[in-house]
Structure 1
Amino acid sequence: MRVNRRVIYITFIIVILLLITNNSSYYWYAKSLLTQAMSEQMTTTANQIRTSIEQSEAGAFFVEDLIGEQLRSAAIFAKSKLDPDIDKISNDQLVSIAADAGVDGFSLMKRSGIGDDIMVGKSSDPNELTLTSTITFGYWFTAFDQLMKNHNVTIPEGQKLPNFWAGIYEVPASGASAVSKFGYYYDGETNYIICVFVNADKIKNFKDIIGADMIVKKTLASNPDILEISGLNGITFGTKPKEYTRPNGIKYVSIYDRPVLFGTHNITHENDYANFKRAIQEEKPVSTVESYESSPILKTFVYVPIKERITEVQREIPYVITIVSDYKSIQKTLNDQLIRVALIILLFTVFSCILVLLVFRFITKSRETAVQSTQEMYIQNVDLMFATIRSQRHDFLNHVQTLYALLTNGEKEDQLRYMEELIEEINGVNDIIRIGQPAIAALIQSKITLAMRTKVSFSYEFIGLDGLSLGVKSVDLVKIIGNLIDNAFDEANKFPVDEREVSVKGWKELNNVKISVKNRVNPSFTLENNKDLFAIGYSTKLEDGHQGLGLPVVKERVEYYRGTIEVKLEEGFICFELSIPMQ
């Protein structure tokens, strides 16, 4: 009988070990699922912030270029009032002309006589007269030098107009103001460059209203579980930024060299720089659970690279969006789940143990009269015990799955309110979520807004792409579809409002992802007369200066993934149909 007891004890120990192992395994499995879901939501939030920032920056650059054009007009006005010889002009005269032109000031720049250096010779602002050398100004000096030598500027930075160049709004080296916008004019008829400048409050105020910091502020206000959002400079974060020295010895940092471009970075960790570099190197989101003030937090790093240069003037710099979210809600959910599941398992275990003990006692009492029957009964009950264990494991799985389903279906509002609010804030429109590809969903959402603004009837349909690995980078996918939609919108805007139609479709066919974009086209348009659709510089738009780079970019990216493009006309509509192999 001792052998039988030993077997029972061993069995109990095995059962306990199995329960502990299963409980631990499913605890970590549930934790992994919840953490991954939260990480994906933070990534989606970061991409939404990225899209909003890109749109606001485009508006800010447009305002800045308008100011640049006004500066050129002011410089031409000043030239008409000034003597072509700088020595015959007084600083007081520049003050008077600045007031007449409605700008903050004028400076006249000339060669300093030391090599090719250029200095400020006359100015309406005494602070500007301290700039006796500009040769250390980097590409700014290159622009000055090109103006004096060639009367025009060719460097990629800044705004270029005939006989004119304007830099980005920046901290003045002279310290004349917090930030200013400078423009430089030279046509060869004077012995000096006319520098005209205004305080950049208009641009700064514009960014304060719709810029990155305002986007971050609104996101934090609508998502209480997000503790901090920051935009880390992809070039200078983690290193000491370059410092410039004014003539008075005071050092300053360019606004484009700040380690933190927007938001705040107060919740720091020793691994921040390593995760920052990893997000850049891998070009995919990086999430990590850390501890801050004895509380768990989730940090998500999302890299935003510079878009491929498709315009003559491009002022973006790479950055990493970092989102810090409260992890305590997930930890609390996991702990509650663990307690409930443990109680259920404990009840089943106690019931099984009592049942086995009763059977064991029954077998012991009846061993003298029915040995064979006792052996059979023992085997049956051992089988029953293992069947009970399997049932427990099965019920345990169902219970965890049910708890998780209740969690995601919103029936535990006190634990999942932050997730539901986050999903509603980010996606907005439920049918966009069903596209199944976050990058495409974000793009379609932005184009819906554009369609409403331009009064274009915009329809879309994506079937069978949910959860698929398309084998195409999200950046390239957005680039391909985005350029086609933009071209379609441009063509649609040529028609009356009630005829502006654009449609986009996406589906899986065999082992290929198919995308089609269709829009109305002029009845006189023929493919025979427009064979160079994908040639660089080709365009049907009438505006001066259009680059004609959208379709060439699409063709290059599709061919990179060994895909094909088919163009056809269908009853007054032109249709671009792409086929890209899924890898």
Structure 2
Amino acid sequence: MRINRRVIYITFIIVILLLITNNSSYYWYAKSILTQEMSEQMATTANQIRTSIEQSEAGAFFVEDMIGEQLRSAAIFAKTKLDPDIDKVTNEQLIPLAAEAGVDGFSLMKRSGIGDDIMVGKSSDPNELTLTSTITFGYWFTAFDQLMKYHNVTITEGQKLPNFWAGIYEVPASGTSDVSKFGYYYDGETNYIICVFVNAGKIKKFKDIIGADTIVKKTLTSNPDIIEISGLNGITFGTKPKEYTRPNGVMYVSMYDRPVLFGTHNIVHVNDFTNFKRAIQDEKPVSVVESYKGNPILKTFVHVPIKERVTDVQREIPYVITIVSDYQSIQKTLNDQLIRVALIIVLFTVFSCLLVFLVFRFNTKSRETAVQSTQEMYIQNVDLMFATIRSQRHDFLNHVQTLYALLTNGEKEDQMRYMEELIEEINEVNDIIRIGQPAIAALIQSKITLAMRTKVSFSYEFIGLDGLSLGVKSVDLVKIIGNLIDNAFDEANKFPAEEREVSVKGWKESNDVKISVKNRVNPSFNLEDDTDLFAIGYSTKLEGGHQGLGLPVVKERVEYYRGTIEVTLEEGFICFQLSIPMQ
């Protein structure tokens, strides 16, 4: 029997598809895991940056508060040197006073006469004199107004001390410097607020040493896979920040309104604002894979909300840390894995195909061996049956001569005995031929010979099978009946010669062919204790024999033809009765 090439090809294709599906799934699963791990790593890095910035800002705030206290002391010192009436103080008088107090300047603020507005009346810096109105300064104006009305400030923003308020270091509206720190003192004994200011160089220098931008630079240096880090203003990013106008017409933006608070934001994508909002709304890191200059990058957005510190709320701005990392490292890892997986696919495919081929070859060889063995048995049995017939024909002359001699000698009794023996032998052969199925007839003939050799009382009876199309291949019919008879002979041989009995019957019933094989069994045998009667390897023989393969073969072939097997015990005999539908 030749191997079916189509089956091999189909099996090969199925194996290839399964391998491709499996390894593709593994590839995408590994990619998602690596991406997730990198996202978590970037989120961890962002939280580390956040912690470092918080510590840095806490230090900067401490320095800023110390400067605020110094500004209050300078304002009290100035009060002792100045006339309580603003009209009796000159701008020139304030210049040396600032130098003596160790600050960059003094300004005196008063009501402008237009509503509750407050303006700068005198100053050591000419730029300050341009501030003729502060009513548009937001909470800064509220602080000025509260000082003049109540001598103290109650708003949550800024640094509050007795008769004193200091705002955050900020871009001055007057343009006196890039960044300045302002403090305001008023105890009601003058008709003006003493404004004292210093350029915030110390704070800026402190931030340059341990501030956010320095932390970002160190992080970029220690993490080569990180391309860019930025702190996006949680309030103004993605929108146009509010601009203020100086008296000279120059526009400026508050330090705390800048869209990017620290780091750089040069790697821009159209979805940045959407992902920025997602990080704020979901309150958890958002990571996306994007393309920049043809290369894959991973962007991670981590929201940093305001802490619940009411007194310092103005100095804390919610922001989103954005980390851009090189995704090519993951891609390279995946490509290396893909190459390894491809090699595994090729090797495993070759191995699988070879294994499938060997399995098919083994099965084919097994089937060929089984078929060949059955055919040889069938042919042998048929040859034996025909040899018996030829032997009878060959001996016919001898029988006639013997009968003639017996008749001539007048030995009637011997003649009758000889005739009976001859007729019995002829009837046995005729009975076998009358079975009507050559395969069964040949098999029965061979088993008769075996029964004579093993001293087994073997009887058979087949009725109504002449010329019927049984729907079973001859080789399978020989397998089924032959294995049942062999199994019965094996059991019978366990008994003394006079107790060895095996019987076989075959008949047609409705549209089924019935086969029954009966043999004597040990009285202790119990069907309930032998539920695995048809299991491969099951055998009641102590040694040798057929290794428990006979009954499993019978069961498999009967079920193949949609037949049934029934096993019963009858007065010391076990009976296997099977039913197979005819065509």
**TM-score with structure 1 setting the length:** 0.62
On the 8 A contact 2:406/2:414 being kept in 1, the answer is no
Spell out, residue by residue over 1:198-243, the C-alpha distance to the aligned partner (whole angstroms, 9 max, x if none): 1000000000000011111111111111111111110001111110
Q: How far 1:7 sits from its partner (Å)?
A: 2.7
Q: Distance in 2 between matches of 1:62 and 1:489?
A: 106
Spell out, residue by residue over 1:500-533, the C-alpha distance to the aligned partner (whole angstroms, 9 max, x if none): 9999999999999999999999999999999999
Q: Distance in 1 between matches of 2:214 and 2:425?
A: 16
Q: How far 1:14 sits from its partner (Å)?
A: 1.3
Please say which of residues 30-39 and 442-451 is displaced more in the overlay: 442-451
Please say which of residues 264-273 and 9-18 is displaced more in the overlay: 9-18
Q: How far 1:391 sits from its partner (Å)?
A: 60
On the 8 A contact 2:109/2:194 being kept in 1, the answer is yes
Please say which of residues 77-86 and 135-144 is displaced more in the overlay: 77-86
Counterparts in 2 of 1:52 and 1:72: CA distance versus 1, 3 Å: same
Counterparts in 2 of 1:491 and 1:374: CA distance versus 1, 3 Å: closer
Q: How far 1:371 sits from its partner (Å)?
A: 3.8
On the 8 A contact 1:53/1:215 being kept in 2, the answer is yes
Spell out, residue by residue over 1:83-126, the C-alpha distance to the aligned partner (whole angstroms, 9 max, x if none): 11111111100112111111111111111111111111111100
Q: Distance in 2 between matches of 1:165 and 1:422?
A: 142
On the 8 A contact 2:511/2:581 being kept in 1, the answer is yes
Spell out, residue by residue over 1:366-397, the C-alpha distance to the aligned partner (whole angstroms, 9 max, x if none): 87665488999999999999999999999999
Spell out, residue by residue over 1:396-439, the C-alpha distance to the aligned partner (whole angstroms, 9 max, x if none): 99999999999999999999999999999999999999999999
Counterparts in 2 of 1:7 and 1:529: CA distance versus 1, 3 Å: closer
Spell out, residue by residue over 1:179-211, the C-alpha distance to the aligned partner (whole angstroms, 9 max, x if none): 000011111111111111110000000000000
On the 8 A contact 2:170/2:179 being kept in 1, the answer is yes
Counterparts in 2 of 1:543 and 1:377: CA distance versus 1, 3 Å: closer
Q: Distance in 1 between matches of 2:394 and 2:52?
A: 47
Q: How far 1:6 sits from its partner (Å)?
A: 2.9
SS at match of 2:323: strand
Q: How far 1:486 sits from its partner (Å)?
A: 91
SS at match of 2:313: coil
Counterparts in 2 of 1:414 and 1:487: CA distance versus 1, 3 Å: closer
Please say which of residues 59-68 and 396-405 is displaced more in the overlay: 396-405
Q: Distance in 2 between matches of 1:132 and 1:405?
A: 165
Please say which of residues 420-429 and 369-378 is displaced more in the overlay: 420-429
Q: Which runs of 5+ in 2 are unaligned?
A: none
Please say which of residues 175-184 and 498-507 is displaced more in the overlay: 498-507
Counterparts in 2 of 1:78 and 1:36: CA distance versus 1, 3 Å: same
Counterparts in 2 of 1:417 and 1:376: CA distance versus 1, 3 Å: closer
On the 8 A contact 1:72/1:185 being kept in 2, the answer is yes
Counterparts in 2 of 1:387 and 1:188: CA distance versus 1, 3 Å: farther
Q: How far 1:300 sits from its partner (Å)?
A: 0.9
Counterparts in 2 of 1:282 and 1:123: CA distance versus 1, 3 Å: same
**TM-score with structure 2 setting the length:** 0.62
Q: How far 1:163 sits from its partner (Å)?
A: 0.8
Counterparts in 2 of 1:279 and 1:459: CA distance versus 1, 3 Å: farther
Q: Distance in 2 between matches of 1:415 and 1:64?
A: 145
Q: How many residues align?
A: 583
Please say which of residues 266-275 and 377-386 is displaced more in the overlay: 377-386
Counterparts in 2 of 1:167 and 1:115: CA distance versus 1, 3 Å: same
Q: Distance in 1 between matches of 2:275 and 2:15?
A: 42
Counterparts in 2 of 1:28 and 1:512: CA distance versus 1, 3 Å: farther
Counterparts in 2 of 1:297 and 1:189: CA distance versus 1, 3 Å: same
Q: How far 1:352 sits from its partner (Å)?
A: 2.4
Matched, 1:401 2:401: yes
Q: How far 1:254 sits from its partner (Å)?
A: 0.4
Q: Distance in 2 between matches of 1:90 and 1:418?
A: 167
On the 8 A contact 2:382/2:443 being kept in 1, the answer is no
Spell out, residue by residue over 1:139-190, the C-alpha distance to the aligned partner (whole angstroms, 9 max, x if none): 0000000111111100000011111110000000000100000011111111
On the 8 A contact 1:231/1:260 being kept in 2, the answer is yes
SS at match of 1:27: helix
Counterparts in 2 of 1:312 and 1:55: CA distance versus 1, 3 Å: closer
Q: How far 1:350 sits from its partner (Å)?
A: 1.2
Counterparts in 2 of 1:16 and 1:441: CA distance versus 1, 3 Å: same
Spell out, residue by residue over 1:275-301, the C-alpha distance to the aligned partner (whole angstroms, 9 max, x if none): 110010010111111111111111111
RMSD: 39.4
Please say which of residues 443-452 and 238-247 is displaced more in the overlay: 443-452
Q: How far 1:347 sits from its partner (Å)?
A: 1.1
Q: Distance in 2 between matches of 1:72 and 1:456?
A: 128
Counterparts in 2 of 1:311 and 1:195: CA distance versus 1, 3 Å: closer
Please say which of residues 164-173 and 402-411 is displaced more in the overlay: 402-411
Spell out, residue by residue over 1:437-492, the C-alpha distance to the aligned partner (whole angstroms, 9 max, x if none): 99999999999999999999999999999999999999999999999999999999
Please say which of residues 32-41 and 454-463 is displaced more in the overlay: 454-463
Q: Distance in 1 between matches of 2:95 and 2:401?
A: 76
